[in-house]
Chain A
């Protein structure tokens, strides 16, 4: 079991749909991350929030919109996605300290039809 909870585990959506991915942690971590992972590839960083402020956006298309309502919750809003956006979306969190590792959830498997 992981201490970072992602919902839903699986999501199928059409290209005209709007959906959201949710990530929750109750470890008191102050940084939260979104990664995207295509099949047989390493995870790719998308966004980083630190103390609820967006710190890194890795030039992600605007059809992906992150939101950090509070320090325990991270959302990824999806709109007008393309089939090539189908992937495993991973959330992670870390304490604010210098040496602390990232704690990952098990991801949401997204399929865009």
Chain B
């Protein structure tokens, strides 16, 4: 799977948009970008995924650059409950299961 690079930490004011970048310059054509987050003392939680088009769901938006070498996760109105470690993952489906390898992630602190 392609390697990802994320900033180790970010702060965001409550109510503002949180924009979390991820670099995946070695991504190949059939690899998807996935985002998970891990709130303290809980298991990771799936947020969103995409291949090359921008995606939006009830939790977040995912913007992928045209060359697919980087992406940004956007939490439109961050709340204190969004404080977590956010992981950007590039993975390939192996037929019946996935090999998901976590990088070091970005620790997002939402400030009141």
Query: Which residues on A are within 8 Å of B, measured CB to CB?
Result: 2, 4, 30-31, 33, 42-45, 48-51, 55-56, 90, 92, 94, 96, 98-107
Contacts and interface: CB of A to CB of B under 8 A. Distances in A.
Contact of B46 (A48, A98, A103): A103
A105 B44 CA distance: 8
27 contacts: A2-B42, A4-B43, A31-B98, A42-B85, A42-B102, A42-B103, A42-B105, A45-B99, A45-B101, A48-B99, A49-B97, A50-B96, A55-B94, A55-B96, A55-B97, A90-B43, A90-B44, A92-B44, A94-B98, A96-B96, A96-B97, A100-B98, A101-B34, A101-B49, A103-B46, A104-B45, A106-B41
Given A2-B43, A99-B49, A105-B43, A42 B97 contact: no
Contacts of A103: 46
A102 B98 contact: yes
A41 to B, nearest CB: 8
Contacts of A44: 102
Interface residues of B, number: 25
B100 interface: yes
A42 B99 contact: no
A92 B91 CA distance: 16
Q: Please classify the interface of chain B as helix (H, G, I), strand (E, B), loop, or mixed, using the class held by over half of its residues.
A: loop
Interface of B: 32, 34, 36, 38, 41-46, 49, 85, 87, 93-94, 96-105
Contacts of A55: 94, 96-97
Contacts of B102: 42-44
Nearest to A96: B96
A90 B45 CA distance: 12
Nearest to A4: B43
B89 to A, nearest CB: 10
The 4 closest A-B pairs by CB, nearest first: A104-B43, A101-B46, A42-B102, A31-B97
